[in-house]
Amino acid sequence: MRGLSGKTAVVTGASRGIGLGIARRLVDEGVRVVVTARKPEPLAAAVEELGGAAYAVGVAGHADDADHQEQAVATAVDTFGSLDLLVNNTGINPVYGPLMEIDLDAARKIVEVNSIAALAWTQVAHRAWLGEHGGAVVNVASVAGVRPSPGIELYGASKAMLIRLTEALALELGPGIRVNGVAPAVVKTRFATALYEGREEEVAATYPLRRLGTPEDVAASVAFLLSDEAGWTTGQTLVLDGGVLLHGH
């Protein structure tokens, strides 16, 4: 895609699943990536899968930790000479059930990691490089942020906040920085296993395209939004759902 080759990206939550898929697509497009995750071992394996130190560097830490954010962004600039692209992919959903029973400490953590951390990463990247040189940001939200999602409503609320932040940041950071998002439905990853395991055909049958998403599906749209091909697109969240929202529920 036009305008990606030679750039540097930070992709958070990228040791597996959607984040790793995004990092892999960006490397294929000629981007050098700094990938983050909590655990060093799977992160090191991801770096090897991405082609090693010439293409990727891993920085382990918690997505909502300010020191970790600063370290990852500094690593991008120091190692590859720039930080042109940011993908806020990290997301957690440690609880399932009605809102009336949710542990409020867990609720605060979900909002902190899924929403506020994305804003923090953007602030750090803006100070370090984007503010002066421009670039693009993509936030990975969810269809749970677009419609009611019983059982994971706090997760959905945090992703709705992320979608709203995407719009606000696009207004504030233009014209030099474009900010967009993607909102996937069920994607076949370990994170989403509980939503389809043992009944994938049944779940997929509810989608007009009759299949669940893959990390590659999401990665292709993220790469587009980061590229110059989307040069007149900002503040948008692209729903990637195999058509499931067409049912209206």
List residues with catalytic annotation: 155
Output the 3-class SS for the chain. Answer: CCCCCCCEEEECCCCCHHHHHHHHHHHHCCCEEEEEECCHHHHHHHHHHCCCCCCEEEEECCCCCHHHHHHHHHHHHHHHCCCCEEEECCCCCCCCCCHHHCCHHHHHHHHHHHHHHHHHHHHHHHHHHHHHHCEEEEEECCHHHCCCCCCCHHHHHHHHHHHHHHHHHHHHHCCCEEEEEEEECCECCCCCHHHCCCCHHHHHCCCCCCCCECHHHHHHHHHHHHCHHHCCCCCCEEEECCCHHHHCC
